Amino acid sequence: MNYIDTHCHLDGEEFRDDLEQVVQRAREAGCKAIFLPAIDLPSCQTVIDVCTRYPHYCYPMLGLHPEEVRADWRDVLDSIRQQLPPNRGGRGERLPIAIGEVGLDFYWSREFEHEQLLAFEEQVRWSVELQLPLMIHCRKAQNELVSILKRYANDLPGGVFHCFTGNEQEARQLLEFPRFVLGIGGVSTFKKSHLPEVLPACVPLDRIVLETDAPYMAPVPLRGQRNEPAFIRHVITRLAGAYGVTEEEICRHTNENVTKVFGIQI
C-alpha cells in the first residue's frame, strides 16, 4: 500500500532532531512522497533545504500563509515571487510544484483582513500566470475565499482545499471548482468529526487527497502526539471504512488525484 502526503511541515523545528528517522518511518509505512508548504519568507528556504536533502521524495510549495500576512505583505510577496519559476510549469524537487500555503483565516483575528484578501488574490494570480496549483488554507472565510476564486475559475489550473473539515453544503460549494480536490487528514478520525458521513455523501473518491498537516492534528489513536507522514495509514483505514472500499482503493484514487492536480508522476 503506497500513498502520498500532500501537506506536511517537515521543515519545522518539531522535526529538527529526528528528521531522518521520520522520513525513514514514512518510507517504511508506504509513503511515496511528501509535499512541503512554506508559510512565510524564511520557511521558503527551509522547505527548499529539506526538499534538496530528499530529492524526488520531498517536493516544495511556496507561498504566504494568511496568518503570516502583515502590513509588509507586498514586500514579502515580492521576495517569494522571485523564488518561483519564470516560466510556466517549471517543476522538480527544488522548484515548487504549487503555490502554497495560501488562503484566508479569520478565526483568531480580522486585524489584517483587507491585507489577507489582497495577498491571497495576488497569489491566485500567480497560480494562473504560472499554471501552478494552489494549496489553500481556509478557516472562517469560505464565502470570501470562494468569491475571489470565482473571478479566476476558468483559468485556474486547480489545487487542494487543505484540511477540509466542513459539512455537505461547504463541500459541494468547493467542489464546484472542477480542478480542485479536498485534502483529508487526521480530523477524519476524530470522534466528533462528521467527515466519515459527509464525504461519502457528496465527495467522490476522485476529489480527495491525503495529508497530515504534520506536526499538527495526529489521527486517532495517536491524537495528541506529534503528527508525521507514517500516521496517514490511520486516515486511510478510516476512509476505507467510510466509503466501503479497500484501503488499496483509497490509495489508488488519491494517488491518481495527486497526479491530476499537481501534474507530476510519482
List, run by run, the mean pLDDT of 10-residue segments along the chain (266 residues).
97 98 98 98 97 96 98 98 73 76 94 96 97 97 98 98 98 98 98 97 98 98 97 98 98 98 91
Residue from 190, 192, 199 nearest 254 by CA: 199
> What pLDDT is attached to residue 90?
46
CA-based nearest residue to 130, from 61, 46, 48: 61
Nearest to 133 by CA among 69, 170, 88, 166: 88
Which pLDDT does position 94 carry in this prediction? 56
CATH superfamily of 3-262: Metal-dependent hydrolases (3.20.20.140)
Q: Tell me the angle at which helices 113-130 and 142-151 cross, rounded to the nearest 10 degrees.
A: 40
Q: Are 132 and 105 in contact (CB under 8 A)?
A: no
pLDDT at 95: 83
pLDDT score, position 87 = 58
Q: Which residues of 94-103 are buried (b: 16+ CB within 10 A; e: fewer)?
A: ebbbbbbbbb
Q: Are 4 and 33 in contact (CB under 8 A)?
A: yes
